[in-house]
Amino acid sequence: MKIAILDDYQDAVRKLDCFSLLAGHDVKVFNNTVKGVGQLTARVGEAEVLVLIRERTAITAQLIDKLPRLRIISQTGRAGTHIDIDACTAHGVAVLEGVGSPIAPAELTWALIMAAQRRIPQYVSSLKHGAWQQSGLKSSSMPPNFGLGQVLRGQTLGLWGYGKIGRLVAGYGRAFGMEVMVWGREGSREAAAADGLRVANSKEELFTQSDVLSLHLRLNDETRHLVKLEDLLQMKQTALFVNTSRAELVEENALITALNRGRPGMAAIDVFESEPILQGNPLLRLENCVCTPHIGYVERESYELYFRVAFQNIVDFLNGDRTHVANPAALLGFGR
């Protein structure tokens, strides 16, 4: 089979132990992202199988229509809204779902919290330019001594969402002596209460009382742009806003506006509306925003897990196992 693996930015996939599962197939690995239907068609027009790394490339109906040889899409992690499932089904393209792990994104969330609260990126950058113990955070709009940073013990960690990742982050917060407060759907609030955590009485309480507020929600029609500018402006001047989930959870440009107004005082962000982001992205220019390039799941153990399952799903499917097909109706057209 002709297999195309998209968006392997670090050129890591060929070096994984699990890559041997694709032995005997004609595999092409692409290390950069292209967006246009024409560019993608030129790149993968002959592919019979696509392997997707999370949501890095959108598989639209227009693209599917240009790929007559395509038979299988194997997704690392869950198949999300970046894949037009209906179009795949109509064209007889089977979408195979993989598995994920909450560990790496939860740890990245905590690393960002620690880095931002102690102003580590700012101190490192200043030190490289010859400035000793200078964070550079001295804007007149910032509270006194904001650049010194803040310990976590005794602070309130607010979590919007209490799924697998949220639970892990809550555990880290408790280990660091923070009071953990949870907001979300009824099921999340009940689970948090059962775990002995404080449950916010309202969204307003979450935003006004949190010293660190982290989002852990799935993106869907209900959660898109759920966080508004007015929510962010309710946060403390000393507070930290963290988003390692989905950029689209926040109203477009709301975070940039809020940070420029000084509420919250700091943000740590791993996700962006359009990725990869360009050098001139406004968030990159803000001294009170720590940005990472969507690396929540990017580490060796996670890659081995994600790709081993994605590759094994292909092998199993070709051997007649349809267990992991997200759109069984597509099988009616398989082999056409």
At 240, phi and psi to the nearest 5?
Answer: -115, 130
Q: Is 294 a catalytic residue?
A: yes
Check 71, 246, 263, 308 and give the catalytic one: 246
Contacts of 330 (CB under 8 A, 6+ apart): 88, 89, 91, 92, 93, 94, 95
Amino acid identity, residue 201? N
Helix (H) or strand (E) holding 190: helix 186-194
Q: Where are the alpha helices (DSSP H) in 236-332?
A: 254-261, 282-285, 300-318
Burial of 183 (0-12, 13-18, 19+ CB in 10 A): buried
> Could you tell me which of 83, 61, 86, 64 has the C-alpha nearest to residue 74?
83
Amino acid identity, residue 326? A
Q: Is 129 a catalytic residue?
A: no
Angle at alpha carbon of residue 293, lines to 231 and 10, rounded to 5°: 160
Contact between 165 and 102 (Cβ < 8 Å): yes
Check 71, 167, 294, 308 and give the catalytic one: 294
Q: Is 246 a catalytic residue?
A: yes
Check 275, 285, 300, 301 and give the catalytic one: 275
Burial of 217 (0-12, 13-18, 19+ CB in 10 A): buried
> Could you tell me which of 54, 57, 48 has the C-alpha nearest to residue 27?
48
Which are the catalytic amino acids? Answer: 246, 275, 294
